[in-house]
Amino acid sequence: MKKNSGALLKPDPCQRKTPFLSALKAYVDSHPAAFDVPGHKMGCFPTDLSRKISNVFFEYDANSPYGLDNLYNPTGVVKEAEELAAKACHADHCLFSVNGTTGGILTMFLACLSLKDKVILPRNVHRSVINALIISGAVPIFVTPYIDADLGIADGPSVEAMITAMDENPTAKAVFLINPTYFGVVADLKRIVKEAHKRNMLVMTDEAHGSNFYFSSELPASAMEAGADITAMSMHKNSGSLTQTSLILTQGKRIDFARVRRSYGMLTTTSPNSILISSLDAARKEMVFHGPEIIHKDLVIARRLRKAIQKIPGLAVIGTDYPQHCASTGVIGIDETKLIISVKGLGLYGYDVYKELRIKYNVQVELGEVSVILAIVGPGTGQWQEKRLLDALRGLSHDYYQKNKKRRSLAFSYGFPSTIVPPFEAFDAPSKKVSFDKAIGEISAETIMAYPPGIPLVIPGEVVTADAVGMIRFFQKEGGEVLKDCEPDKIKVIDRTHWYLADEIHMLGHGS
């Protein structure tokens, strides 16, 4: 049985190597006369940025010079660095993504699914998944997630709901899951993988928030440990690499890795940033050797914070007993380094708290939602940040708890519209822009989402409901950032009078 912390099992000394970073440093130290791109020629064209953050950054900004290998057809230091990362994560293969997990998700959909292949997935997926459905032409079978109405967050769907979807769609090619959700909530991935594989379905996962699972046995199982076939995970979010950098990992024989590589090549820049790549090399080494103790330190801080926050009037924080509160919903655990703090007791929205923490207390949390804020403890968190967060939360409680005690109770519920046309068909269909009221009952041709967390409220192919419009208006009014294709007060819907394909379209849930 694989352990999700290879490091705990005495790391392989080979993991001390950082092949790409070492080659990059040797290249910079050799002071070449650069007649290649980029044009700043290793920092010889100073700008305000280089003057402010150090020219060294620019010296290391190389673009595939001789000896630094090639991200598309690696045979040297990139190949070696990717192999070390694969081994560190107990995967068979690894690709470095310089377009985050977004790029990884697009890659895996294009690689694993063909036009009209069915994929079973929870509806609370990130926007990149909706785009991946459009690009691949795959047909989604959405499973409604468990909605925690009290916190106003969506967890995973129950195992039973996933199994039912698999039984009802035996020809589905793949199952897609989130491990964990943005809020750190995990489902029983191992069981779902087993059920999917029994039915000959691939398992693909989004681990944008799960890279730390690979480096500690104190955290839930990683996708590779749970037996998934392919995953994309953001090393940058909680394992120390630079923003934008992720790993695509695969294992087993169900995956055609050559096709994964081809798809990756189609979606990735031909000018990958060498600093980003070397940050993956360096973070992998650090996490292999020190991940267990670093994550243990994070857990100690997070547990201390939980205890203290729980005592602050008006605040509540989700703990390890969360799965018991969500019995039979499929929630089996949480990533304790993520603090989901309910602020309802302050009579404030999470958005308000998010802003006030930043403006008044100089504390930046990950996000504010309707009822909660999310604070993430990571490898770089220390006692001074812990103290500042606690002081700020105490200050907020002092200012608002008594005053707002009798204020409205904040009610909010998620509801997802039904998809009746595959997103790729709706994306291509003729469209028109109409007012919110006129859009109700029409089929959306655009993705509308509140950011963060980036889970779409409406996607192309879904029927726009009064509920969905209510949610869009709510987010616009209450401070959530609403991202959409057209004007803030309009929705792009399919123009059915010009929809020549209408008769041929396979209407989801209405066809054979």
Q: Does 208 bind ligand PLP (CB under 6 A)?
A: yes
Report the residue number, 11 or 184, with the smaller CB distance to ligand PLP: 184
Report the C-alpha gap between 456 and 418 in whole angstroms: 13
Report the residue number, 448 or 469, with the smaller CB distance to ligand PLP: 448
**Could you tell me whether strands 118-122 and 174-178 are parallel, antiparallel, or unpaired per DSSP bridges?**
parallel
Report the C-alpha gap between 179 and 220 in whole angstroms: 9
Site string for ligand PLP, 240-269 (x = CB under 6 A): ------x-----------------------
- What is the DSSP-derived secondary structure letter of residue 497? G
Q: Does 128 bind ligand PLP (CB under 6 A)?
A: yes
Report the C-alpha gap between 355 and 433 in whole angstroms: 33
Q: Does 279 bind ligand PLP (CB under 6 A)?
A: no
Closest CA to 71 of 58, 60, 81, 61: 81
For the purposes of burial, counting CB atoms within 10 Å of the CB of 308, is it exposed (0-12), middle (13-18) or buried (19 or more)? Answer: middle
Q: Does 136 bind ligand PLP (CB under 6 A)?
A: no
Residue where the block lists tokens 């409406």: 458
Task: Kindly list the distances between the CA atom of residue 332 and the CA atoms of 125, 192, 240, in Å, as whole numbers in the listed order.
Answer: 19, 12, 27
Give the nearest distance from C-beta 158 to ligand PLP in angstroms.
Answer: 19
Give the nearest distance from C-beta 249 to ligand PLP in angstroms.
Answer: 14
Report the residue number, 50 or 278, with the smaller CB distance to ligand PLP: 278
Report the residue number, 208 or 464, with the smaller CB distance to ligand PLP: 208
412-451: which residues touch ligand PLP (CB under 6 A)?
A: none
Give the nearest distance from C-beta 360 to ligand PLP in angstroms.
Answer: 26
Of positions 19, 100, 227, 461, contacts ligand PLP by CB under 6 A: 100
Of positions 87, 118, 126, 484, contacts ligand PLP by CB under 6 A: 126
Question: Beta-carbon neighbour count of residue 37 at 10 Å?
Answer: 12
Report the C-alpha gap between 189 and 143 in whole angstroms: 15
Of positions 96, 182, 349, 475, contacts ligand PLP by CB under 6 A: 182
For the purposes of burial, counting CB atoms within 10 Å of the CB of 212, is it exposed (0-12), middle (13-18) or buried (19 or more)? Answer: buried
Of positions 42, 178, 357, 376, contacts ligand PLP by CB under 6 A: 178
306-365: which residues touch ligand PLP (CB under 6 A)?
A: none
Tell me which stretch binds ligand PLP (CB under 6 A): 97-105, 257-265, 358-366, 434-442. 97-105
Give the nearest distance from C-beta 206 to ligand PLP in angstroms.
Answer: 5
Give the nearest distance from C-beta 161 to ligand PLP in angstroms.
Answer: 19
Report the C-alpha gap between 506 and 512 in whole angstroms: 8
Q: Does 234 bind ligand PLP (CB under 6 A)?
A: yes
Report the C-alpha gap between 460 and 448 in whole angstroms: 9
Task: Kindly list the distances between the CA atom of residue 508 and the CA atoms of 98, 118, 461, in Å, as whole numbers in the listed order.
Answer: 35, 11, 9
Give the nearest distance from C-beta 447 to ligand PLP in angstroms.
Answer: 14
Number of residues lying near ligand PLP (CB under 6 A): 13
Q: Which residue is nearest to ligand PLP (CB)?
A: 100
Find out whether 195 and 165 touch, Cβ atoms under 8 Å: no
Residue ranges in contact with ligand PLP by CB under 6 A: 100-102, 126, 128, 178, 182, 206, 208, 234, 246, 453-454
